[in-house]
Amino acid sequence: MLERLTVDSPHYAEAWRLYEASFPADMRRAPEDQRRALTDPRYAFVARAGGDGGKGVEAVFGLWSLEGFSFLEYFAVRPELRGRGIGTLVMRDLLAGSASMVLEVEPPHDEESRRRISFYEGLGFVLNPFPYLQPPYGPGKQAVGFLLMSHPGGLRAEDFDRVRRRLYADVYGVARPLEGESLPT
């Protein structure tokens, strides 16, 4: 069962622990920034809970409903439950409710990143070739080099620029390209 969480939800603390354990510090927000994001009606912090014999949170994701597309900011499944199809079930539900979706992935530099890309490709996502920097999540955090994946189909350069600008403004609060980032031509 998917549950949209607030800080007062029974599964919030467990979902937050899974989020923190699943992503390095530069790839996640601080708790106070998460509480601020939860006040934005376009953002949902969601847990899949109650499966696995009712033993708590199985997966967690952050989803933004933006102008023209949804943005899957992050997605994590409890490590001991990976490979059981939970991620695929959750993603199929998300895709059924979204005309267009975008997410960030690490470039395919090792086996884990290649497996992650393959997982999303199996769901119909396309890896876009344009370099992309995820802006820093806060002071003392670094920008992270990613690629964008999109569903359905790939992004043209002008679509990529529109999506990047929307992500920067609405999700990360950045109004212009990051230092050293070039736009596709």
Q: Bigger pLDDT: 49 or 16? A: 16
Q: What value does the mean pLDDT take over residues 83-101?
A: 94
pTM of the complete model? 0.92
> What is the spatial distance between Cα 87 and Cα 91, in angstroms, rounded to a whole number?
6
Q: Is the pLDDT of residue 183 over 50?
A: no
163: number of Cβ within 10 Å: 22
Domains identified in the chain and CATH numbers: 2-172 (3.40.630.30)
Q: pLDDT per residue over 138-156, tens digit each?
A: 889 999 999 999 999 999 9
> What is the spatial distance between Cα 166 and Cα 2, in angstroms, rounded to a whole number?
26
> What is the spatial distance between Cα 30 and Cα 138, in angstroms, rounded to a whole number?
8
Q: How far is CA 154 from CA 48, 102, 121, 133, in A?
A: 28, 10, 11, 18
pLDDT band at 175 (very low <50, low <70, confident <90, very high): confident
